[in-house]
Chains A and B, each alone.
Chain A
C-alpha cells in the first residue's frame, strides 16, 4: 500500500487530495496547523480503515516538522506532497489583495517566504531518507503560475510571485542533486482554483484540480523531475 504525506490537509487542495488518495487505497499522513479544529479531516478518519493519520504541522515552527519525523522514524514515504501555502492576509480576489507596487507589507513578504519556500525546503530535507526508501520516491510541491516569470503579463503580487519563483528554484536544484538517488522532485501548478486562497472567481473547482494533480503525480517518472508541471498535464516556462 503506497503512502503519501500531505501538508495543509485541513482544507482546499490539501483536503481534496487527502480524500482522493484515501479513495484510491493509499495510506495518508495528513498534516495541518490545528488538528483539533480540522473537522472535515476528522470526519475522514471514520471509514478510512486506519489508513489516515492526522499530524500537527506549522511551517512557521520548524520544530513541528522534526516532531513528525520523530513519529514516522524510518518508515518510507512514497509521495511527499507540500500543499500548505500562504498568499497574505487579504486574498487575491478581495479589495487590496493584488499586492500592488508601493503597498508592500514586508512582514507579509517575509512570512510568505517562510511558509512557501523555507517550509517545503525543511520538509524535503527532513524526509528525504523516508522518500528514498520508498517505491515511488516523489517530492512534489504545489507552486503557482504566478511563479512563472515568463508568463507574468499582469505584474503585481510581489511577495507571492517572489516566493513561488524561489520555490521553483529550490525544487529544480533538488531534482539535480537528488537524481542519483532516483528521487523525483518538481513544482506543480494546481490551476487557479476556487479555494479560500484562490477566491470564488477562479477558473476551476477543487475536484478538477485535485483529480488532475493526482493523475500527474501518478504518471511522473524521472523524466519529469525538475520540470514545472501543470495539473492538466501541460508544462509551464520558468
Chain B
C-alpha cells in the first residue's frame, strides 16, 4: 500500500487529494493546522477503513514539522505532497487582492514566503529519508502558473509570484541534488481552481484538478524530475 503525506489537507486541493488517494487505497497522512475543526477530514477518516491518519501541522511552525517527523521515523513516504499555501491578505478575489505595484504589505510578504517557500523546503529536508526509503520516491510542491515568469503577461501579484517562482527554484535544485537517491522532485500547477484561494470565478473545479494531479502522481518518473508540471499532464515554462 503506497503512502502519501499531505499538508493543507483540511480543505480545497489538499482535502481533494486525500479523498482520491484514500479511495485508491493509499495510506494518507493528512496534515492541517487545526484537526479539531476539520470536519470533512474527520468524516473522510471514518470512511477510510484506517487508511487516513490526521496530524496537527503548521508549516510556519518548524517544531511541529520536526515533531511529526519524529513520530514517522522509519516509515516510508511514497509521495510527499506540499499543498498548504497562502496567497496573502486580502485574497485574490477580494477587493485590493491583486497585490498591485505601490500597495505592498511587507509583513504579509514574509508570511507568504514562509508558507509557500520555506515551509516546503523544511518539509522536504525533514522527510527526505522517509521518501528515499519508499518505492515511488516523489516530492511534489503545489506551485502556480502565477510563478511562471515567462508566462507573466499581466503583472501584479508581486508577493505571490515571487513566492511561487522561488518555490519552483528550490524544487528544481532538489531535482538536481536528489537524483542520485532516485527522488523525483517537481513543482506542480494545479490549474486555477474554485477553492477558497482560487475564488468562485476560477475555471476548474476541485474534482478535475485532483483527478489530474492523481494521474500525474501515478505516472511521474525520474524523467519528469525538475520540470514544471501541470495537472493535465502538460508542462509550463519557467
Q: Are A102 and B125 in contact (CB under 8 A)?
A: yes
Given contacts A155-B173, A162-B117, A162-B169, contact A121 B178 (CB under 8 A): no
B176→A152 contact, CB < 8 A: yes
| Given known A-B contacts A102-B128, A150-B238, A117 and B101 have beta carbons under 8 A apart | no
On whether A166 and B125 interact (CB within 8 A), knowing A155-B176, A156-B177, A176-B153, the answer reads: no
Interface residues on B, range: 35 or more
Do the beta carbons of B110 and A147 come within 8 Å of each other? no
State whether A238 touches B237 (Cβ < 8 A).
Answer: yes
A180 CB, nearest partner CB in chain B, Å:
11
Tally of A interface residues using CB under 8 Å: 46
- Please state if A168 and B149 are interface contacts (CB–CB under 8 Å): yes
Interface window among A14-22, A50-58, A106-114: A106-114
Taken together as a complex, chains A and B put the C-alpha atoms of A164 and B170 apart, in Å, by 11
Q: Mark A128-162, 1 if CB is under 8 A from B, else 0.
A: 10000000000000000001011011111110011
**CB atoms of B237 and A177 under 8 A apart:** no
With contacts A149-B172, A238-B149 taken as known, whether A101 is within 8 angstroms of B101 at the C-beta atoms is no
B156:A101 contact, CB within 8 angstroms: no
Residue ID in chain A nearest B160 by CB atoms: A169
B102 within 8 A of A: yes
Asked whether B101 lies within 8 Å of A128 as measured between CB atoms, the reply is yes
Closest to B149 in A: A238
Given the complex, which residues of B lie within 8 Å of A125, measured CB to CB? Answer: 101-102, 104
A124–B62 Cα distance when bound, in Å, is: 33
User: Does any Cβ of A come within 8 Å of B220's Cβ?
Assistant: no
- Cβ of A62 under 8 Å from chain B: yes
The interface residues of chain B lying within 8 Å CB-to-CB of A208 are none
Identify the B interface with A (CB < 8 A). 62, 100-102, 104, 106, 109-110, 113-114, 117-118, 121-122, 124-125, 128, 147-150, 152-158, 161-170, 172-178, 237-238
**Could you tell me which A residues sit within 8 Å of B by CB distance?**
62, 100-102, 104, 106, 109-110, 113-114, 117-118, 121-122, 124-125, 128, 147, 149-150, 152-158, 161-170, 172-178, 237-238
